[in-house]
Amino acid sequence: MDIDDLASDCLVNAVNHGFYEEYNRMQVKLSDDPELWKFFEKVWLSNRLMLIVSELAEALEAIRHNNMSILPSSGGFGEELVDAQIRLIDLAKHTLNSSFSCAVRNKMNYNAKRAYKHGKEL
């Protein structure tokens, strides 16, 4: 399975479990008002970013409790990191118009040419 297949699976699973329900409903309701739709989409994307941040906060709490498990339902660092990654890949697949793997490769190629620590001290 390549990263595009994985990204598609993440998106399909999120759709199947209701995480796009309000997005789809509002897209229909706001189809006649492009400005209001733009505003809703920004709020919706912001919410999705905060869900990713919340998974990372849970990963931090797992570290604080010395729980490094990757097992489902363990609340461990590995599990929470995977949760964050799934949400991030789902969001990327939803928002990017091109191939997810292509976007990752392009950014990695760009980063490979950047200065050490991107020219910063920390």
DSSP states of 67-122 as a string? ----STTS--HHHHHHHHHHHHHHHHHHH-SS-HHHHHHHHHHHHHTSPGGGG---
Q: Which long-range contacts (CB under 8 A, 24 or more apart) does 19-23 make?
A: 19/90, 20/94
State pTM to two decimals: 0.86
> One digit per residue, pLDDT tens: the chain, 122 residues?
788 899 999 999 999 999 999 999 999 999 999 999 999 999 999 999 999 999 999 999 999 999 999 999 999 999 999 999 999 999 999 998 668 888 889 999 999 999 999 999 98
Which residues, including other chains, have CB under 8 Å from residue 118's CB and lie 6 or more apart? none
Residue written as token pair 């920004």: 42
